[in-house]
Amino acid sequence: MKYVYPEIGKVFETGGDFVNTLVIENQGLFCRIIEDIQNQINGFEGKSVLSTNDKIIPINKNLEVFSQFVPFEINRKNLISKICSAIEAKAINEEFCFKTSELMTEIESFLMELSFNFDCNLSFEKLNFASLVKASSLEIADDYDSLGEKIVDLMELITEFDREKMYVIINLRSYLSDEETARFMDTVIRHRFSLLMIESNEHLLLPLESRFLVDKDLCEIS
């Protein structure tokens, strides 16, 4: 995927052999570009342009921003909902439909048995596999040793259960050491993720990093 912002004279082509880093030392420009991306994610118009195969694609459907890392929430409501839908779809496919039907019959029979001596007639009309999955309070196990690993896993989950997207990660290097960042970049490249890292300050230039800098006077240095 390619990302362009009209105030910056570079086309950021992602998903290659290097991770693009955009360092913006000018606070006004830094604020404008982040605000523009976030506004478009929320459905408003903006200046940022995202494209793939030379075709412009909507940012609100094809771009994710990661900007909060303490805490970094991997159990996102929309993602959990998509995982639940995938489980429900799998439950009724050819491989599992018979087992699912048996299970639901057994649960309904057990509920009827539990309510047999009650002084009323009970029914369980809303009992279905979807309600069972929802009642399970499904969560992604959050037991990571590294923030970088956690971010990569979230990217994988979004790709699998939603769609392939571009990721904009803001000031991640304030939270990762140089060594952790290098490992993170290597993993991103091996997965061929589309990533643009936006930083407000310079850090050590890493071997797998392609850096573009806009200084306080808006001078561009590549």
Query: Residue 42: is its pLDDT beyond 90?
Result: yes
Least confident window among 43-57, 91-105, 201-215: 91-105
Instruction: Give the 3-state secondary structure of residue 21.
Output: strand
Whose CA is closest to 46, among 12, 1, 4, 2?
4
Q: What is the pTM of this model?
A: 0.87
Query: Looking up tokens 């200084």, which residue turns up?
Result: 215
Q: What is the pLDDT of residue 116?
A: 83
* The pLDDT value given to residue 111: 87
Question: How do residues 72-89 score in pLDDT, each as one tens digit?
Answer: 999 999 999 999 999 999
pLDDT at 122: 79
Q: Residue 87 has what pLDDT?
A: 93
Q: What is the mean pLDDT of the chain?
A: 94
The tens digit of pLDDT for each residue in 150-183 reads 999 999 999 999 999 999 999 999 999 999 999 9
pLDDT given for residue 118 in this prediction: 83
At 115 the pLDDT is 84
Q: Which residues have CB under 8 Å from 140's CB, separation 6+?
A: 74, 75, 79, 80, 83, 157
Secondary structure letter of residue 173 according to DSSP:
G
Give residue 148's pLDDT band: very low, low, confident or very high (50, 70, 90).
very high
User: What order do you get walking across the sheet with 55-57 strand by strand?
Assistant: 12-13, 2-4, 49-52, 55-57
* 182: CB partners within 8 A, 6+ apart: 206, 207, 208
Cα(203)–Cα(142) distance, rounded to whole angstroms? 29
Query: Does residue 33 carry a pLDDT above 80?
Result: yes
Question: pLDDT value at position 134?
Answer: 85
Give the DSSP letter string of 179-210.
Answer: HHHHHHHHHHHHHT-EEEEEESS--PPPTTEE
Mean pLDDT of 64-78: 93
Work out the angle at residue 196's Cα, subtended by the Cα atoms of residues 203 and 189, and round it to the nearest 5 degrees.
90
Q: Does residue 121 carry a pLDDT above 90?
A: no
